[in-house]
Amino acid sequence: MLLDFILTEEQKDIKEAAREFAEKEIAPVAEEYDLKEEFPWDVYKKAVKLGFIGMGIPEKYGGQGLKMLDACLVVEEFFRVDAGIGMILASTFGSEMLLYFGTEEQKQKYLPPLCEGKAICGAAFTEPGAGSDVAGIKLKAEKDGDEWVLNGTKTFITNGTIADWFVVLARTDPNAKKRHEGMSVFIVEADSEGLERTKIKNKLGIRSSDTAELNFKNVRVPAENLVGQEGNGFAQAMMFFNTTRIPVAFQAVGIAQGAFELAFEYSKNREIFGRKLKDFQLTQDKFARMRTEIEAARLLAVQAAMQADTGMPDPGLTAMAKYYCGKTAVKVCDEALQIFGGYGYIGEYPISRYYRHAKITELYEGTKEVEKEVIARSLYGKVPSQIAVLRKPPY
């Protein structure tokens, strides 16, 4: 792999350990969990024991304390085998908000159980009328004594029915002058009275990842569950996504790499017109293009991760990585399935699963259209100032 010249020996070991786990524990059951649309609890528990869950959480809170690039190497290897089960790594999705903006008490209470496999969390931002347009959220939080009362709906929430708690973005000042003002983030316990969770089924891909709609009906949240500053929720959300979009880029690279390998091996044995498929110049051209685009995508993702490891993720670079890597995953999976021909259209061939998985990397945590908007804004110095003033905390 061309990436080897960048990686340290320790990083190569991390990558190899992740590949071994993925091929041994994920590959044999990938199709089963995809068909059942169930969270792979057995694989998740094994991943917890080996330290793959909560890799980026500091050691003082029970995690591995890995840097962004280190953790993303694991993401790529898991998604190279199966994106659905690979989403077990997102069982800590939402913890980043606490790491950046939470109090020490909040971190001590909520982070260790994630690393121990005793709890799962989620991040509730998206609403039926507000996805990539985060400033358009309507879920309200009204102060009532020493509590906040939440009302509204969130949708497409990862870990929705299995999470123990969520970080929830809510509108706390309905009279704010600007759309992105007057929002705050709260920790909401999943068993809170008035919180209803409904599993979303029949997704195109990542079916073994739990996704749900959350309905808040007078859900009461203690004032101490406010994360960060009241009214600063939008800026916190932007910082959150500027970080979490980097692993999504590596998800896409992993999917593309896995699809490429499946197609390459298939071409060695498939015969057509009396010749091996791999011997046709057109096939070779496909593989040449696919490999080039995968390596380019990987290096862009690595650059974004390395930038984040220096202290502050770059919004434009992160957006470029997610946009280009997602685009590459979709394109490579399309070409790979084409090489399989009609067999690729049959569910028993795993390439069809890769094809279905790939599209999500162009959708969640900011559509490709939104990523291009961020890229353009970064060129003209128009990335929201709320992001620029934030600094990575010394946790």
For the chain, the average pLDDT equals 95
Q: Tokens representing 125? A: 């931002």
- Burial class of residue 191, CB neighbours in 10 A (0-12, 13-18, 19+): exposed
Q: Sorting pLDDT into bands at 50, 70 and 90, what band is 311?
A: confident
Residue found by looking up tokens 């041994």 in the block: 24
213 flagged as catalytic? no
CATH of domain 2-95+111-115: 1.10.540.10
**Is residue 389 scored above 50 in pLDDT?**
no
Of the chain, the end-to-end C-alpha distance in Å amounts to 33
Q: Where are the domains of the chain?
A: 2-95+111-115, 121-231, 235-388
Name the CATH topology of 121-231.
Answer: Butyryl-CoA Dehydrogenase, subunit A; domain 2 (2.40.110)
Please name which of 329, 359, 331, 338 lies closest in space to residue 263, comparing C-alpha atoms.
338
Position 62 scores a pLDDT of: 98
Q: What is the pLDDT of residues 152-200, one digit of tens each?
A: 999 999 999 999 999 999 999 999 999 999 999 999 999 999 999 999 9
CA dihedral 96, 310, 327, 261 (to 10 degrees): -100
**Is residue 392 scored above 90 in pLDDT?**
no
**Is residue 388 scored above 50 in pLDDT?**
no
Distances (CA, A) of 266 to 27, 104, 343, 351: 17, 52, 11, 10
**Is residue 5 scored above 90 in pLDDT?**
no
Q: Sorting pLDDT into bands at 50, 70 and 90, what band is 1?
A: low
Q: What is the pLDDT of residues 49-101, one digit of tens each?
A: 999 999 999 999 999 999 999 999 999 999 999 999 999 999 999 999 999 99
**Is residue 215 scored above 90 in pLDDT?**
yes
Position 384 scores a pLDDT of: 52
Q: What mean pLDDT is predicted for residues 9-32?
A: 97
Spot the catalytic one: 25, 181, 365, 371. 365
Position 331 scores a pLDDT of: 98
Q: How large a percentage of the chain has pLDDT more than 90?
A: 93
Position 393 scores a pLDDT of: 40
**Is residue 112 scored above 90 in pLDDT?**
yes
**Is residue 372 scored above 90 in pLDDT?**
yes
CATH of domain 235-388: 1.20.140.10
| Identical topology for domains 2-95+111-115 and 235-388 | no
Q: Sorting pLDDT into bands at 50, 70 and 90, what band is 395?
A: very low
Q: What is the pLDDT of residues 279-310, one digit of tens each?
A: 999 999 999 999 999 999 999 999 999 999 99
Q: Which residues contact 380 (CB under 8 A, 6 or more apart)?
A: none
Q: What mean pLDDT is predicted for residues 24-34?
A: 98
Distances (CA, A) of 261 to 17, 80, 167, 213, 335: 19, 9, 38, 36, 12
CA distance 16 to 10: 10
